[in-house]
Amino acid sequence: MTSFTIRPARPDDARLILKLLTELAAYEKLPITLTEEEIAFDFFGLRPLIECELAFEGQVPVGIATYYWTYATFRAARRLYLEDLFVLPAFRGRGYGKTMLQYLTKKGLAAGAARLEWQVLAWNAPSIAFYQSIGAHSHEGWYTYWLEGDAMKNLAEA
């Protein structure tokens, strides 16, 4: 049986990180503008904005998880926000996604996190079914909003 391992990403993994995130963007039918230079700065710079774990079957890269810390002021609680979780299609069904979530859950609990959060696209029925099978809940009554591009500029200049 081939071993499955998870390890923190290193600066020399920038190309691999970009490759895996590009595969995820294609799967989600979303554009990607991320570059290796941005990965070097945002993931490994003086003040990293995001953390990354890479998953391997033997020596073969098979998955990625990116995450960062948030804080819930009303509850005085740390939260770990999972930005990306992706296992290459050829390696799905082997329990790797669940193992990666377990790994991040343990990491969060060890650091005092009260919650692990993420989003899923409404059309992604396989992922939704998986998340529900492990006891995850959606935020009923909450909507995600964001500003970008001209809307951000307009608000800043108002």
User: Over the stretch 109-146, which tens digit does the pLDDT of each residue have?
Assistant: 999 999 899 888 888 888 888 888 888 888 887 777 77
Task: Name every residue whose Cβ is closer than 8 Å to that of residue 9 and which is 6 or more positions away in sequence.
Answer: 16, 17, 43, 51, 52, 53, 54
Task: Name every residue whose Cβ is closer than 8 Å to that of residue 111 and which is 6 or more positions away in sequence.
Answer: 69, 78, 80
User: Over the stretch 63-111, which tens digit does the pLDDT of each residue have?
Assistant: 999 999 999 999 899 999 999 999 999 999 999 999 999 999 999 999 9
131: annotated active-site residue = yes
User: Over the stretch 18-42, which tens digit does the pLDDT of each residue have?
Assistant: 999 999 999 999 999 999 999 999 9
From 145, 82, 84, 70, select the one nearest 118 (Cα to Cα): 82
Query: What pLDDT is recorded for position 111?
Result: 94
Query: What pLDDT is recorded for position 22?
Result: 98
Q: Structural domains in the chain?
A: 4-157 (3.40.630.30)
Give the whole-angstrom CA distance, residue 65 versus residue 102. Answer: 12
> Which range is most confident: 81-85, 149-153, 154-158?
81-85
pLDDT interval class at 1 (50, 70, 90): low
Indicate if the pLDDT at residue 2 is higher than 80: no
Contacts 24+ apart (CB under 8 A), 108-113: 108/78, 108/79, 108/80, 111/69, 111/78, 111/80, 112/78, 113/69, 113/77, 113/78, 113/79, 113/80
Mean pLDDT for 42-57 is 98
Single out the catalytic residue among 67, 68, 71, 131. Answer: 131
